[in-house]
Amino acid sequence: MPKWASGPTGQPSYWCRAKKELSAADPVIADIIKGCGRGGLIGQGDPFVTLVRSIVAQQISVRAADSIWNRLEEAAGGISPKMVSARDEAELQGAGLTRRKASYIRDVAVAFLDGSVAPTMWHEKDDEGVIADLVGLRGIGRWTAEMFLIFHLLRPNILPLDDIGLIRACERHYAAGEEMARGDIEQLAERWQPWRSVATWYLWRSLDSTAVAY
């Protein structure tokens, strides 16, 4: 197994505790959790896959991202740094990626292969330390780094304030559909500490029965 293909897998050990504490702290989240039934965040263990999926998903819907991902996987013959770097940008664009996203994904693949990134070190860094490393890669901004923290490192307390799904869910459930400012959401999320990643996951599910996965 490649040195980078290691990370937490399965559901986080904190998930059940987080559900109970969030339900006690916020009746809105409690109702959403009840309505979602079983399931939860699942770690896949491969940092490269999570980063590529996050780049694919930038500024598009979950369904559109899933469709492009399936086509990309077929076009590349699998999602690994070696397979992706072996394709030129035109081939990656053929899967439905924009030119920029194709370039970003290929750059990330090369960075994994040449050792420019050191994923094994991210487990030892705090959230902001990981974000600082990731945003140094072309095409990865704070939102993508936050998705990596949630879906690969399974960090429990990430609040992606620029995520459109989180914003829409908060507006629907807490503001009767009215617009909410970034600061309002941040203040609202104080009651979710230290489980803001879990609250965010359930708010996403309240908008779409298809679980978000990167």
What tens digit of pLDDT does each residue of 137-195 get? 999 999 999 999 999 999 999 999 999 999 999 999 999 999 999 999 999 999 999 99
Q: Which amino acid is at 68?
A: I
Q: pLDDT at position 4, please?
A: 52
Backbone φ and ψ for 44, nearest 5 degrees, come out as: -95, -15
Can you say whether the dihedral through the CA atoms of 128, 60, 189, 8 is positive or negative? negative
63 pLDDT tier (thresholds 50, 70, 90): confident
SS (H, E, C) the chain: CCCCCCCCEECCCCHHHHHHHHHHHCHHHHHHHHHHCCCCCCEECCHHHHHHHHHHCCCCCHHHHHHHHHHHHHHHCCCCHHHHHCCCHHHHHCCCCCHHHHHHHHHHHHHHHHCCCCHHHHCCCCHHHHHHHHCCCCCCCHHHHHHHHHHCCCCCCCCCCCCHHHHHHHHHHHCCCCCCCHHHHHHHHHHHCCCHHHHHHHHHHHHCCCCCCC
pTM for this structure? 0.91
Please count the CA atoms within 13 angstroms of the CA of 165 that sit on its side-chain side. Answer: 25
Q: What is the pLDDT of residues 105-142, one digit of tens each?
A: 999 999 999 988 888 889 899 999 999 999 999 999 99
Residue 99 has pLDDT above 70, yes or no: yes
Place of tokens 């908008």: 207
Neighbours of 152 (CB within 10 A): 26
Q: pLDDT at position 120, please?
A: 85
Q: What is the pLDDT of residues 13-39, one digit of tens each?
A: 999 999 999 999 999 999 999 999 888
Tokens matching residue 68: 């492009």
Q: How far is CA 40 from the centre of its chain?
A: 13
- Residue 180: CB partners within 8 Å, gap ≥ 6? 167, 170, 171, 174, 188
